[in-house]
Amino acid sequence: MTITFIGHGYVGLVTACVFADFGNKVWVIGHTPEKINRLKNGDPIIYEPGLKELLLKNLNAKRIHFTSEYTTPIGESDVVFIAVGTPPKKNGEADLSTVFAVAEKVSQNLEKKITIVSCKSTVPVGTNARIEKILNKLKPKKTHVAVASCPEFLREGTAIYDSLNPDRVVIGSDSDRAKNILMQLHKPIDGKRVITDLASAELIKYTSNAMLATKISFANLISFYCEKTGADVEKVLDAVGLDKRIGRIFMDPGVGYGGSCFPKDVKALIKIGQALNLDTTLLDAVERVNAIAKENFARKIIDVMKGEKNLAIWGLSFKPNTDDIREAPSLFVLNRLLEQKFSLSVYDPAATSNINNLFGSKLIYFDDPYEAVKNSSALVVLTEWNEFKQADLRKIKSLLKKPIVFDGRNIYDPALMKGLGFSYYSIGRQPTR
């Protein structure tokens, strides 16, 4: 098939490369000339393990093409995927302006007798119906469109694996033709097929992300109890997670959730519920607990350090194996510590450049984690990169002015840290001194 992806972020670019690797001809449309040129030259722009190699492979095979124009890609495509951003507005609603602007451009460039237009962007219920109205209003008379919703469930850091091995492939449409074509397109991909209507497909993505965010906030709420009572949150949640009805996956206490999906999707689902006159108390609490988790961790550092103002920060991205800092808990913690006049030496394997774009000279940047630690009064871990889990703790102790570690992801064993002589502060567990 010939396919077009509009948008070259995590969803659009990764999925485009995967479908090109299956032998399809794939167009990717963007609007920034500088980014289009970088992509044409094999630079994926974003950090994602394995993506550069997959991009280069399919560029060399001439199966993937990048452009800023719509005419040729849309005119020859069997399927067009809309994969643009839907960032939150100030009131929490999803900003759909780009989605609708793209739909107008698609409609004006349709040439085939029938084209499948499928939205991969996370959008509120009813958005695809509006896309369909735009397409039918503006399309050439002799062309036809079938609209579908095909939400993605990629995790940044494992996006290529998730594209090939999803738990489920959701296809929502009122058109049998669209369902059949999309089923054929996804044939090489594993995962249970969920074939449904447009509204259900739109709501599935929000529901999934809200549930995962709820598990994280629930784990953090229990960590608050544990810190007040002397219980160990890891032991509590390990035992609770053995119940097959509950499970331990994603029930991880920490400094809070972030990224491009959970924060905006929880906000959007709250706004959708309010528009429907529903009580959103549960989702409001998920958001509130996430905010408290970030504040509690920052306050813990401020209270313990008092007059000591030099800190090393390990981990800036919202999760490991990505350079994405959108809504990252590190942003909140860094700002709170800067407000208190801390000097911050920071290190991240991938996200330093993105943080530098936001904070500039307010932070001190290092290319080596141990250099960042040298002469700092304490180490703060905000992201659970594997290299931090296997760090040389004795070396860290020798480099620090004081043997103090604040672990926002519970990656170290308290007993080990105590045995090494650290003052160790984690989440939902009693500090060792």
Q: Is 245 annotated as a binding residue?
A: no
Per DSSP (E only), the strands in 197-342 are 310-314
Which residue type does 150 have? C
Q: Is 336 annotated as a binding residue?
A: no
Q: Is 288 annotated as a binding residue?
A: no
Q: Is 177 annotated as a binding residue?
A: no
Confirm if 4 and 75 have CB atoms less than 8 A apart.
no
| Alpha carbons 296 and 294: distance in angstroms, whole number | 6
Q: Is 48 annotated as a binding residue?
A: no
Greatest C-alpha distance within the chain = 76
DSSP 3-state of 403:
coil
Q: Is 334 annotated as a binding residue?
A: no
- φ, ψ for residue 365 (rounded to 5)? -105, 140
| Alpha carbons 369 and 348: distance in angstroms, whole number | 8
Angle at 152 between CA 41 and CA 284, to 5 degrees: 120
Half-sphere exposure of 2 (CA within 13 A, CB side): 13
Q: Is 35 annotated as a binding residue?
A: yes
Q: Is 431 annotated as a binding residue?
A: no
Q: Is 132 annotated as a binding residue?
A: no
Q: Is 253 annotated as a binding residue?
A: yes
Q: Is 155 annotated as a binding residue?
A: yes
Q: Is 190 annotated as a binding residue?
A: no
Q: Is 122 annotated as a binding residue?
A: yes
Q: Which tokens is 324 given?
A: 């994405």
| Alpha carbons 238 and 250: distance in angstroms, whole number | 12
Q: Is 230 annotated as a binding residue?
A: no
Q: Is 72 annotated as a binding residue?
A: no
| Alpha carbons 158 and 144: distance in angstroms, whole number | 36
Active site residues: 261
Q: Which tokens is 328 given?
A: 């990252």
Residues recorded for the chain: 433
| Alpha carbons 208 and 205: distance in angstroms, whole number | 5
Known binding residues for NAD(+):
35, 86, 122, 156, 264, 326
Residues in the annotated binding site? 35, 86, 122, 153-156, 205, 250-254, 258, 264, 319, 326
Binding residues for substrate: 153-156, 205, 250-254, 258, 319
